[in-house]
Amino acid sequence: MAPLFWKYPRPLVEGRLVRRYERFIAEVRVGRQVVRAHCVNPGRMEGLVVPGARVWLSEARHERALKYTWELIELEGVLIGANTSLPNALVRRVLEERLLPGFDDVTALAAERAFGRGHRVDFLLDTPRGEHLVEVKNCHLVYPDGLGYFPDSHSERAVAHVDALARQVKRGKRATVLFTLQREDGNGLRPSARHAPEFATAARRAVKVGVAMRAVRLLPSLEGFRFGGEVPVDVSVYDAQAVAPWARALEATSGWLRKDGAMAGRRLGG
């Protein structure tokens, strides 16, 4: 088993998921009480909003409105990372420790750098061959075909990021979209033509001009994360309707409860 390359600063707190509320709040039963935790995921979290599932929370080191953050969930024996702010820290460690082939020539790394017209990239790398822009995209959704699908909902932001990287490549720079799978059971990844056909099209456009699409597994445990190696990214055209039954099967465990009692972020149609 690979060693941990990133550790939680404190032991996680175990509980049972009660509900996801107003998108960014998870209510979790911890012992005899129900606590509110920050849900760091703006998307639908397709298939992850499972009442009664075992979840783990981190505890804030400083005083804030919500003491806890939802970090992990266990579904059918698979541990899945639920915190979408964490992958950037994990990828930084992967790059700094040179765990991913192809990034061995990095001489300096800067996070959150502006480029183009109003865009920011997750990492700007200095290399002997010039600047290399790296955009990180987190994927949690794995279907029965063993593939991860990103995103799990419409995302104008993701399309804009990929198009902006493509323009930089046309100007002579290097760029990579690096997908992270915070689970061990994904054997590859696809831009989701089911959830965001415009992103799948943008990804194919970007690859044609030289943007690299790569994916890594970051394997969660209760102590931290292990590096699970690289998995292939498939940007070829496929029948989006073929995955529709899998998506429909997860509708009831996606989205969030609004203040008015209605569910949001569930149906995609079709």
CA distance 204 to 200: 6
Q: Which of 49, 82, 115 is the last residue of a domain?
A: 82
- For a pLDDT cut of 90, what percent of the chain falls above it? 87
Tell me the residue type at 267.
R
- Whether residue 221 is found in the same domain as residue 95: yes
- Whether residue 12 is found in the same domain as residue 110: no
Domain count across the chain: 2
Q: Which domain holds residue 156?
A: 86-249
Query: What's the chain's length in residues?
Result: 270
* Paired tokens of 97: 């420790």
- Whether residue 69 is found in the same domain as residue 107: no
By the 8 A CB rule, do 109 and 122 touch?
Answer: no
* In a domain? residue 230: yes
- Whether residue 51 is found in the same domain as residue 174: no
Q: Which of 46, 62, 82 is the last residue of a domain?
A: 82
Per-residue pLDDT averaged across 174-180, rounded? 98
- Whether residue 77 is found in the same domain as residue 186: no
**Segment 212-270, tens digit of pLDDT:** 999 999 999 999 999 999 999 999 999 999 999 999 999 999 999 998 888 898 776 55
- Whether residue 93 is found in the same domain as residue 49: no
By the 8 A CB rule, do 216 and 6 touch?
Answer: no
pTM for the full predicted model: 0.95
- Whether residue 225 is found in the same domain as residue 204: yes
**Segment 34-69, tens digit of pLDDT:** 999 999 998 999 999 999 999 999 999 888 889 999
- Whether residue 147 is found in the same domain as residue 71: no
Q: What is the DSSP letter of 233?
A: B
- Whether residue 127 is found in the same domain as residue 144: yes
Q: Which of 36, 63, 82 is the last residue of a domain?
A: 82
For position 175, which CATH number holds?
A: 3.40.1350.60
More confident call, 125 vs 64: 125
* In a domain? residue 266: no
* In a domain? residue 229: yes
Give the DSSP letter string of 19-63: EEETTTEEEEEETTEEEEEE----S--TTT--TT-EEEEEE-SS-
- Whether residue 70 is found in the same domain as residue 90: no
